[in-house]
Structure 1
Amino acid sequence: MPGFALEPEQQTWCDTLRTLAREKLRPLAEQGEAGHLNRPLVEALGELGLLERLFTSGALDLCLMRESLARGCTEAETALALQGLGAAPVARAGTDEQRARWMPGVRAGRTVAGFALSEPGAGSDAAALTLAAEPERRYGSGSARESGAGGSDGAAVGDWRLSGEKCWISNAPYADFYTVFARTTPGAGARGITAFLVPADRAGLSGTALDMLSPHPIGTLVLDGVRVGRADVIGVPDRGFRVAMDTLNLFRPSVGAFAVGMAQAALDATLAHTAGRTAFGGPLKDLQSVSHLVAEMATRTEAARLLVYAAASAYDRNEPDVPKSSAMAKLFATETAQFVVDSAVQLHGARALRRGHLLEHLYREVRAPRIYEGATEVQRTIIAKELYA
């Protein structure tokens, strides 16, 4: 499809990113500890200008970055994506003061952000979150009580206390601040959620790392009466769900790009293996069962890539069907990557199951994207809803 062919400068940039991922970022990733935040890796993304570009480019640029990095270093791709996910609400909907305080460090890779939406009982159904933001009423001489401000009891509502638990949170418990989504109006569904910027050193905030199948920094957060004020609100009170969805609509196609990058890495490894491996009197590629499977892997990967690019381009053009195209891209690309990586493992045989093999690494990495930022089943629900609208 010529409409989705990359410009020469885009292709050159992608080639450069793959080289950087392989030669500069991969060694840093290998020095890190699985499941822990790798600050040198995040700082390297800042030094290379990738985090700056992350917040100044469109959705297609984001997809090209994530796909290219994933082909050479999935840890670098994930570090970039988690930084973007956690800080995008501040960059896009935060106040001037919030952006001035936090974004320079985020872009430089010195300040790490986390995105705190999911809860133990509210993962795919994000609108059902229950972490409570309860008003804190303040009294004192010369206060609103004496000036007549506030409610019927004379109390002025100036702050909230956050109480509850978040789970499956990016960069927890290592981030320097979190975008936390809390329930400010009980019983109001999606229209009663507020986004808050919560520094990690706020009293009452604690966290624990989770040991995940994929080697990513993911954890839980416990908020025990954490105080937040009006200056911490991202966007408008009770409209935080829109902040979350705007962020996810931007990042969903790029989750697909991450998946495409992994699929392409697995396909590249498979082409090399089946061309060089001899079995039954000749190279594996000469067996029809093998060559046909490889052809299917390549076709699905390219189809996924085109869907991702189309969704990202639709987002950049502000087209009305962004939710549907984003959901289609994430759905198809992540399911495709699972198929391609699994097929690659099958064609490589037992060697691909050995710890440290590229495909063993990809096999652990590829499973999570079918769940996070909206599971496959949620994407199908979104698509169907948009089709019948």
Structure 2
Amino acid sequence: EERGAGQWRLTGEKCWISNAPEADFYTVFARTAPRAGARGVTAFLVPADRPGLSGRALEMISPHPIGALDFDAVPVTADDVLGEVDRGFAVAMGTLNLFRPSVGAFAVGMAQAALDATVAHTCQRQAFNGRLMDLQAVSHQVAEMALRTEAARLMVYAAASAYDEGAPDVPRRSAMAKLLATETAQYVVDTAVQLHGARALEHGHLLEHLYREVRAPRIYEGASEVQRGIIAKELYAAQDQEAR
């Protein structure tokens, strides 16, 4: 709701916000031009102590705090605008292009931690008259875990480099990196739990911790299905341009 030139009051609520309610500042996207679609959204940087803004924590399976925010006529001005008024959609897309590879990066870290633990465990664990690593069924699974982890790592590096260079295919590369890395982490952690057996299910075990927290990254910053949609859209858009 706009009160005057360069002044608005934000009213509404938003759920599943990363680092809420602990954050000191929030990036808020609000509609400032009715019936203008994506062109009528403005991005604001809102301090957490702004009058009318409150939040609450949500108990969720996630590697970081997630909460909900309530806006009760929170005052914002032109000084709080990120980018340009009514052009916040571009800010949102640019932010996602950066955050998606970063999500991929910590997903690769989860996969690497699970892989390292599995290599150590299968080297030491005695079973079936030998070490687990001597069983081809086990060693081949470990090799597959390493292969997928390295592929995801390289995809994240490629997306980060494209972002730094301002390459035109950043949206596609970012979506690919986020998708591959998070799906890979889920596979690697799950396989690691299977190869460790019951011990990995004990509270406090590294893999019990990773197994709980690896699931959320496949949903936020755009679920895996959203990433596939972005990749396909970018491919067809490139094809249309070539056809012209």
TM over 0.5: yes
The match for 2:41 is: 193
Partner-residue secondary structure (3-state), 2:72? strand
Identity of aligned residues (%): 79
CA deviations on 1:95-148 (whole Å, 9 max, x unpaired) are xxxxxxxxxxxxxxxxxxxxxxxxxxxxxxxxxxxxxxx1114xxxxxxxxxxx
- The offset of 1:171, in angstroms, is 1.7
2:123 corresponds to 1:256: no
2:230 corresponds to 1:382: yes
The match for 2:155 is: 307
> Taking structure 1 as reference, are residues 297 and 215 closer, same or farther at Cα in structure 2, changes over 3 Å only?
closer
Alignment of 1:83-98 (within 5 A): none
- The offset of 1:183, in angstroms, is 0.8
TM-score by length of 1: 0.60
RMSD: 1.1
Q: How far apart in 1 are the matches of 2:25 and 2:140? A: 49
The match for 2:2 is: 135
Alignment of 1:2-41 (within 5 A): none
- The offset of 1:214, in angstroms, is 2.0
The runs of 5 or more residues in structure 1 that have no matched partner are: 1-133, 138-156
- The offset of 1:215, in angstroms, is 4.8
The match for 2:137 is: 289
Q: How far apart in 1 are the matches of 2:165 and 2:77? A: 36
The match for 1:236 is: 84
- The offset of 1:310, in angstroms, is 1.1
Alignment of 1:280-359 (within 5 A): 280-359=128-207
- The offset of 1:325, in angstroms, is 0.9
2:227 corresponds to 1:360: no
- The offset of 1:159, in angstroms, is 1.1
- The offset of 1:332, in angstroms, is 0.7
TM-score by length of 2: 0.94
The match for 1:245 is: 93
- The offset of 1:374, in angstroms, is 1.0
The match for 2:122 is: 274
Alignment of 1:1-80 (within 5 A): none
Letter in 1 for 2:93: M
Instruction: Kindly tell me the number of residue pairs found equivalent between the two proteins.
Output: 237
The match for 1:204 is: 52
CA deviations on 1:307-351 (whole Å, 9 max, x unpaired) are 111111111221111111111111111100000000000000111
Q: How far apart in 2 are the matches of 1:135 and 1:236? A: 15
Letter in 2 for 1:290: V
CA deviations on 1:258-285 (whole Å, 9 max, x unpaired) are 1111101000000000010000100001
CA deviations on 1:195-222 (whole Å, 9 max, x unpaired) are 1121111111111100011252110000
Q: How far apart in 2 are the matches of 1:218 and 1:263? A: 22
- The offset of 1:383, in angstroms, is 0.3
Q: How far apart in 2 are the matches of 1:175 and 1:253? A: 22
The match for 1:87 is: none
- The offset of 1:290, in angstroms, is 0.6
2:32 corresponds to 1:165: no
Q: How far apart in 1 are the matches of 2:167 and 2:58? A: 38
Q: How far apart in 1 are the matches of 2:55 and 2:91? A: 24
Say which is worse superposed, 185-194 or 290-299, in terms of deviation: 185-194
Letter in 1 for 2:85: P
Q: How far apart in 2 are the matches of 1:337 and 1:215? A: 13
> Taking structure 1 as reference, are residues 158 and 308 closer, same or farther at Cα in structure 2, changes over 3 Å only?
closer
- The offset of 1:306, in angstroms, is 1.0
Q: How far apart in 1 are the matches of 2:145 and 2:2? A: 54
Higher relative contact order (CA 8 A, sep 6+): 2
> Taking structure 1 as reference, are residues 215 and 308 closer, same or farther at Cα in structure 2, changes over 3 Å only?
closer
Q: How far apart in 2 are the matches of 1:232 and 1:308? A: 32
- The offset of 1:162, in angstroms, is 0.3
Q: How far apart in 2 are the matches of 1:229 and 1:309? A: 38
Q: How far apart in 1 are the matches of 2:20 and 2:62? A: 15
CA deviations on 1:228-272 (whole Å, 9 max, x unpaired) are 111111110011111111111012112111111110100000000
The runs of 5 or more residues in structure 2 that have no matched partner are: 238-244
- The offset of 1:187, in angstroms, is 2.1
Letter in 2 for 1:328: M
